[in-house]
Amino acid sequence: MPGIPNQPWLDALEESELERILERLRVLREGVSRLRAAASSEEPLPASELEQGR
């Protein structure tokens, strides 16, 4: 898959499991691309900034 480094453990998976994982990854990354577009001027929000309502 484009953008995903080859990892040896991927080759050992059954084809059906690999297909399911890659499909879920594709859906997730589509969503992330919308996040990029929506937050292009933002800095990351570390969870510590949410601590106790800060």
Q: Are 4 and 25 in contact (CB under 8 A)?
A: yes
Given 11, 15, 19, 43, the residue binding other proteins (CB under 8 A): 43
Q: Say which DSSP state 5 is in.
A: -
- In angstroms, what is the minimal distance from the CB of 45 to other proteins? 4
Q: Alpha-carbon distance 37 to 22, whole Å?
A: 23
Among positions 3-32, residues that touch other proteins (CB under 8 A) are 3-4, 7, 9, 13, 17, 20-21, 24-25, 28-29, 31-32
Backbone torsions φ then ψ of 30, nearest 5 degrees:
-60, -45
Interacting residues toward other proteins by CB under 8 A: 1, 3-4, 7, 9, 13, 17, 20-21, 24-25, 28-29, 31-32, 34-36, 38-39, 42-47, 50-54
